[in-house]
Amino acid sequence: MLGRRTPNRAVLFPRRRSDAILAPVHAQPFPHHPECHTARCASHADREWAKRHRPPFHLSAFESCVVEHESGFDKDASNGVDLSYYQWEPATYASATAMAGITYRYPTDASLREQTLAFRAYEPSHPGAWPVTVPECGG
């Protein structure tokens, strides 16, 4: 019995908080990202989350009216010169995509979302591009 050490009773059963052996507790600097310990990691995690959780795309009533009048929501609609949802001329669509900052694709290959983003960028500065439809739709 003499060779065996008994642990200090104050350590096993502390009476006061100061008697207990406290393990180091690391503060969680980024509570919404428990895997991150640096600001760079948390910022990267925020960007990745935002990429995967984009808000859904919606047409405004004005944009919906323009598409309905121009093509009847037919992606392959054409009058021989103008193409797709907004009845784009290929050169006009090229400049509209540049203004919107999106990658140019031929109008019939572009989605409604891409064409609408181009329309949103182009139409305010070129109100005569749709001389009949835009006034009819209240634009």
The whole-angstrom separation of Cα 6 and Cα 13 is: 13
Question: Residue 44: in which H helix or E strand, if any?
Answer: helix 39-52
Handedness of CA 84, 87, 89, 92 (dihedral sign): negative
The whole-angstrom separation of Cα 114 and Cα 57 is: 10
**Residue-range domains of the chain with CATH:** 29-55 (no CATH), 61-136 (1.10.530.10)
Predicted local distance difference test score (pLDDT) of residue 15: 60
The whole-angstrom separation of Cα 53 and Cα 56 is: 9
Q: What is the pLDDT along the chain (139 residues), one digit of tens a residue?
A: 555 665 555 555 556 655 555 545 555 667 778 888 888 988 999 989 888 887 888 999 999 999 999 999 999 999 889 999 999 999 999 999 999 999 999 999 999 999 999 999 999 999 889 999 999 998 7
The whole-angstrom separation of Cα 8 and Cα 109 is: 78
> Rg (Cα) of the chain, in Å, rounded?
31
Put simply, whether the predicted model's pTM sits higher than 0.75 gets the answer: no
The neighbour count for residue 131, using CB atoms within 10 Å, is 9
